[in-house]
């Protein structure tokens, strides 16, 4: 395997897991999944016979387990990191079958487990021998047996959505080269019962998502098969289904918990700061230099240029930039310095005018405010840059501030400012642009420092509390990174693949990281 | 009041969008908030235009330093505006339209246009319909699509229609194979052309039906297509004045600005890589390896080393060291910064939404 193949192979397996995660029935999600993930694989109780399933939830679980197991056949096992995922995928399939209470015997799963053991053994020995055939042989009877229990077609409400989508799963129609999917509304009103052709799909397709239906309206679906001459050769019809909107996206529960912890710690520290507790914040050189830069502009009698980034007002970096602009312009008003703000977005211009005006009022110098210094340049990236660099060369500003979101223009701006001899302070949360600013500017606020600037410059205790809250979030992240790294190291070493630790890593990977 | 209302709007809109991420049933609200933002952008465009004219007009009148550039900017702005809004030089599009009139005040229009290059678009607007009802649009007796009238009893849609691609040489089955997402009615429409015909679109002896001769029906309402003469094509039709202004004036200028990056990278790298202290030396050394490792001829320096991954010496090939540095050191550093940014975004958003930080709208001290 070439290194270039690795991501593609990884994606093949991840995609199967992703599909499994997205389509798993509600019963197998959320807290139930968490419990499953933390438990070792338990044995299944064999159920004799292969009767067709009538329960929709049960059928979905079986269909998805087949999908996961079939995807396993397609994985190229030369990619070692996938073996860890392989164990997890088998665990997922088993969880789904447990939910479905399906008749898969321990013996069959024992064969699958033995095949995986063999793969793990080859990993331990450092060999690159693919043993796919062993696994495929073990999987085949399981997939066949499960297939016999499935109904021809099922339709079910897409989980965790706003009620506008229905998923269909159906078997092959013998003799069909294409399938046509139709929606048949089931309202009492005869005007609403007009069928709609949703599309023509490949004969091998087994799943279709109707994302154009309407919530709370009962519908049926037909899947018709056509041969090469366009003759209908078979048809499946679903039961009536009424899609509903869901009130909680349970698949995002881990993300919600993480968000609440972070936000809770921010609010908690703000309250702590309000109660009078002193909080220590490290010095940020770039922000300490703001006053020097404004002072320099005053002494030299030259203007300052403040560039609020090139994104629109709905980007948080632009909002953070405007917050810093408020502080910079207040200092400028106190020193009687001139700040020019060229904008790429008219709404940013309007907000910047409001920000600067209130800063001048707060500084007690409303008469010094001149809205002509905050102007719209152009919505085009390089036209905007050309204007700013031209202004820099002509006016030779004493200080340049670049705060917000920047892309290819970052170095053009910073190098021009460097050539004109300005003090330059930059800040962005675009990691790719940071090296350019670091190379060409006197001070650079890196990532989070851009967002911390407002609290830092204001010096207000409750604002500083929010920075401590961020630190708490960082601590939590560090703990998670260290624990997860240790766990995945043990799991990939091969000795704990099937233990609770393997399930825990699988849970982190599939349920926490993917959704978050 | 001046500060309270914006704070309330900010808090409501922002918190709603966060809540909607976890409550799918309210996703419609998010769409509405985003639509309001789009409306604001339109007013923003007027503000922006006024700002440009005021700024550069003032410079020109006062003949400030560099007023010539302002004159160029204003002339360019007005010329582009006139050419774009006036659709100057845009060729006429061919079109047909059909009216629908229902017994209970239902009214509608189906407009099919061809931009002269085979791109055909259907604009459909019908109002006064029974709410939440499905209606079939049939053209030439074939079902084109089914539309739902929604809560307000209105259907408004713009559809891309199939091109007229040598219809006599493509069988219905072949066409269906090529366009799996289309139904039979849509495929049949691919064989109908809009008059006046463009000669090169039709093969010799072809007798494809014209839109003007096919019946159209929306639900129980029927109509006939009629030719629409006084139309113009899309404002950005390639090769026309507005596109020409963009392609041959703006684009070269923008590319020139972008090209200057090459020189700026060299001058910035020269300053950044000066070996002043230990950190600078490490940076210089690492950058040197990465530069060589990413340069086609650079990797030839270590080409004598074995390339077989099982041989430990292969690690010391420049391309492998480069990959190792980028995969482990660089990725770890970038992720640390990214995590810090994510936490910063969360904290800043929270402060803005809860009104804890209100310095962006002014704050009494």
The full 3-state SS of A499-515, as one line of letters, equals CHHHHHHHHHHHHHHCC
**Does A266 sit within 8 Å of B362, measured CB to CB?**
no
| Other residues' Cβ atoms within 10 Å of the Cβ of residue A185 | 23
pLDDT in tens, B280-292: 888 889 999 999 9
The arithmetic mean of pLDDT across residues A82-86, rounded, is 55
Instruction: Quote the Cα angle for B272-B275-B278, to 5°.
Output: 110
Give the angle B297-B301-B302 at the CA atoms, nearest 5°. 120
B76-109: pLDDT as tens digits: 999 999 999 888 888 766 778 888 988 877 888 9
**Nearest Cα to A417, choosing from A431, A404, A398, A432?**
A398
Q: Could A375 and B51 be called an inter-chain contact, meaning their C-beta atoms sit closer than 8 Å? A: yes
Q: Are A280 and B364 in contact (CB under 8 A)?
A: no
In chain A, which residue's Cα lies nearest the Cα of B149? Answer: A192
| CA A442 – CA A289 distance, rounded (Å) | 9
Q: Which of A161, A380, A394 sits opposite B66 (nearest CB)?
A: A394
Count of residues for chain A? 516
The DSSP code for B248 is I
pLDDT at B138 over 90: no
Q: Which of A456-460, B202-206, B237-241, B247-251 has the highest mean pLDDT?
A: B247-251
DSSP per-residue codes, A213-281 = --TT--EEEEEEEE-TTS-EEEEEEPPPB-----S--GGGHHHHHHHHHHHHHHHHHHHHHHTT-----
Instruction: Please state, in angstroms and rounded to a whole number, the distance separating the CA atoms of residues A391 and A448.
Output: 30
pLDDT tops 70 at residue A88: no
Closest listed residue to residue B146, CA positions, set A154, A230, A199 = A199
Query: Phi and psi at residue B157, in whole multiples of 5°?
Result: -150, 150
Q: How close does chain A come to B249, measured CA to CA in Å?
A: 12
Are the Cβ atoms of A266 and B346 closer than 8 angstroms?
A: yes
CA–CA gap between residue A64 and residue A32 (Å, rounded) = 17
Nearby residues of B360 by Cβ (< 8 Å), 6 or more positions away: A319, A322, A323, A325, A326, A351, A355, B352
Subunit contact A192:B132, Cβ cutoff 8 A: yes
Chain centre distance of CA A419 = 40
Looking at chain B, how many residues does it have? 365
Q: What is the dihedral angle through the alpha carbons of A62, A65, A66, A69, rounded to the nearest 10 degrees?
A: -160
What pLDDT is recorded for position B197? 38
Residue in A200, A361, A469 closest to B176 by CB = A200
State how far the Cα of B254 lies from the Cα of A379, in Å rounded to an integer: 13
Which three-class secondary structure state does DSSP give residue B306? coil
Our CA-based measurement puts residue B282 at a distance from the nearest CA of chain A, in whole angstroms, of: 15
Residues B6, B8, B14: CA angle, nearest 5 degrees: 95
Closest residue in B to A249 (Cα) is B22
Supply A146's token pair.
């499960």
Cβ–Cβ < 8 Å for B287, B295: no
Contact A440 B271 (CB under 8 A): yes
Top mean-pLDDT range of A319-323, A461-465, B110-114, B142-146: A319-323
Query: Which residues of chain A does B11 touch, with a Cβ-Cβ cutoff of 8 Å?
Result: none
Going by their DSSP bridges, the two strands A232-237 and A219-226 should be labelled as antiparallel
- On whether the pTM is more than 0.90, the answer is no
pLDDT at residue A181 is higher than 70? yes
Q: Average pLDDT in the A205-211 region?
A: 89
What is the three-class DSSP state of A486? helix
Cα torsion angle, B166, B172, B173, B178, sign: positive
Give contacts of A 243-272 with B, CB under 8 A: 245-249, 252, 256, 259, 262-263, 266-267, 270
Higher pLDDT among residues A156 and B130, named by residue: A156
B174 to chain A: closest CA residue = A228
Sign of the CA dihedral running B353, B357, B358, B360? negative
Average pLDDT, whole number, for chain B?
82
Mean pLDDT of A129-137: 62
Q: Which residues of A touch B339 (CB under 8 A)?
A: 474, 477
Selected residue of B41, B162, B348 to mutate for chain A interface (largest A Cβ count, 10 A): B348
A325, B54, B72 from A339: Cα distances, Å: 10, 18, 25
Residue A462 clears pLDDT 90, i.e. is over it: no
Contacts of residue B148, Cβ cutoff 8 Å, sequence gap at least 6: A214, B132, B133, B134, B135, B155
Rounded Cα–Cα distance for residues A368 and A381 (Å): 31
> Does A358 reach chain B within 8 Å, measured CB to CB?
yes
Write out chain A residues lying below 8 Å of B341, CB-based: 429, 431, 447-448, 451
Q: Is the pLDDT of residue A3 over 50?
A: no
ipTM: 0.77
């Amino acid at each position: 395997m070439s290194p270039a193949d690795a991501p593609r192979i990884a994606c093949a397996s991840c995609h199967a897991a992703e599909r499994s995660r997205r389509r798993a029935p509600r019963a197998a999600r959320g807290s139930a999944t968490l419990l499953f993930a933390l438990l070792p694989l338990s044995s299944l109780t064999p159920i004799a016979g292969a009767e067709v399933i009538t329960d929709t939830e049960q059928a979905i679980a079986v269909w998805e387990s087949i999908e996961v197991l079939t995807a396993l056949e397609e994985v190229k096992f030369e990619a070692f990191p996938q073996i860890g995922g392989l164990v997890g995928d088998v665990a997922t399939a088993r969880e789904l079958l447990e939910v479905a209470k399906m008749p898969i015997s321990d013996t069959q799963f024992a064969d699958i487990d033995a095949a995986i053991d063999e793969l793990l053994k080859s990993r331990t020995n450092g060999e690159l021998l693919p043993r796919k055939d062993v696994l495929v042989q073990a999987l085949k009877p399981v997939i066949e047996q499960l297939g016999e229990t499935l109904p021809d077609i099922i339709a079910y409400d897409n989980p965790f959505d706003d009620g506008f989508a229905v998923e269909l799963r159906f078997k092959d129609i013998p003799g069909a080269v294409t399938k046509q999917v139709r929606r048949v509304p089931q309202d009492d009103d005869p005007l609403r019962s007009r069928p709609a052709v949703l599309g023509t799909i490949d004969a091998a397709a087994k799943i279709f998502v109707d994302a154009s239906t309407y919530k709370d309206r009962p519908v049926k679906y037909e899947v018709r098969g056509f041969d090469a001459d366009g003759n209908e050769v078979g048809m499946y019809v679903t039961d009536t289904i009424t899609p509903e909107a869901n009130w909680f996206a349970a698949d995002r529960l881990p993300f919600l918990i993480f968000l609440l912890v972070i936000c809770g710690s921010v609010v908690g520290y703000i309250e702590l700061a309000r109660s009078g507790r002193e909080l220590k914040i490290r010095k940020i050189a770039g922000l300490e230099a703001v006053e020097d830069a404004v002072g320099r502009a005053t002494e030299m009698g030259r203007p300052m240029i403040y560039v609020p980034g090139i994104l629109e007002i709905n980007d948080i970096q632009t909002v953070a930039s405007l917050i810093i602009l408020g502080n910079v312009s207040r200092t400028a008003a106190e020193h009687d310095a001139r700040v020019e703000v060229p904008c790429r977005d008219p709404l940013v211009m309007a907000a910047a005018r409001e920000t600067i005006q209130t800063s001048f009022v707060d500084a007690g110098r409303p008469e010094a405010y001149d809205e002509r210094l905050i102007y719209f340049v152009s919505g085009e990236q390089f036209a905007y840059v050309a204007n700013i660099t031209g202004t820099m060369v002509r006016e030779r500003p004493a200080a340049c501030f670049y705060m917000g979101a920047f892309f290819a223009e970052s170095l053009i701006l910073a190098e021009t400012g460097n050539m004109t001899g300005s003090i330059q302070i930059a800040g962005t949360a675009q990691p790719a642009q940071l090296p350019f600013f670091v190379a060409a500017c006197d001070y650079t606020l890196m990532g989070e420092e851009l967002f911390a600037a407002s609290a830092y410059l204001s010096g207000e205790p409750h604002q500083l509390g929010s920075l401590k809250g961020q630190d708490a979030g960082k601590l939590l992240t560090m703990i998670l990174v260290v624990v997860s790294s240790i766990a995945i190291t043990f799991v990939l070493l091969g000795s704990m693949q099937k233990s609770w630790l393997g399930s825990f890593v699988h849970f982190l990977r599939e349920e926490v990281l993917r959704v978050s | 009041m001046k500060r309270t209302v914006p704070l309330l709007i900010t808090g409501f809109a922002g918190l709603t969008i966060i809540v909607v991420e976890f409550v799918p049933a309210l996703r419609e609200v998010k769409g509405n908030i985003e639509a309001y933002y789009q409306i604001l952008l339109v007013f923003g465009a007027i503000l922006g235009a006024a700002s440009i004219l005021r700024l550069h007009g003032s410079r020109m009148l006062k003949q400030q330093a560099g007023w010539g550039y302002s004159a160029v900017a204003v002339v360019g702005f007005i010329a582009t505006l006139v050419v774009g809004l006036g659709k100057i030089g845009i060729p006429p599009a061919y079109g047909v339209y059909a009216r629908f009139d229902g017994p209970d005040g239902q009214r509608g229009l189906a407009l099919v246009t061809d931009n002269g290059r085979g791109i055909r678009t259907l604009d459909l607007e019908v109002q006064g319909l029974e709410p939440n009802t499905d209606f079939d649009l049939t053209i030439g007796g074939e079902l084109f699509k089914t539309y739902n009238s929604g809560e307000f009893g209105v259907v408004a849609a713009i559809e891309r229609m199939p091109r007229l691609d040598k219809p006599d040489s493509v069988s219905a089955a072949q066409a269906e194979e090529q366009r799996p997402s289309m139904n039979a009615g849509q495929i049949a429409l691919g064989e109908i052309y809009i008059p006046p015909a463009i000669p090169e679109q039709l093969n010799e002896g072809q007798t494809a039906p014209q839109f003007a001769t096919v019946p159209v029906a929306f639900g129980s309402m029927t109509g006939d297509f009629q030719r629409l003469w006084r139309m113009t094509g899309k404002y950005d039709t390639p090769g026309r004045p507005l596109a020409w202004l963009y392609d041959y004036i703006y684009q070269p200028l923008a590319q020139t600005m972008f090209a200057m990056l090459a020189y700026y990278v060299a001058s910035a790298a020269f300053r950044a890589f000066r070996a002043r202290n230990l950190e600078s030396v490490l940076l210089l050394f690492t950058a040197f390896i990465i530069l060589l490792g990413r340069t086609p001829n650079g990797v030839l320096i270590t080409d004598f080393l074995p390339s077989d991954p099982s041989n430990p010496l292969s690690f010391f090939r420049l391309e492998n060291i480069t990959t190792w540095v980028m995969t482990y050191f660089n990725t770890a550093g970038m992720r640390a910064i990214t995590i810090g940014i994510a936490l910063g975004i969360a904290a800043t958003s929270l402060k803005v939404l809860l009104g804890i930080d209100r310095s962006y709208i002014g704050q009494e001290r």
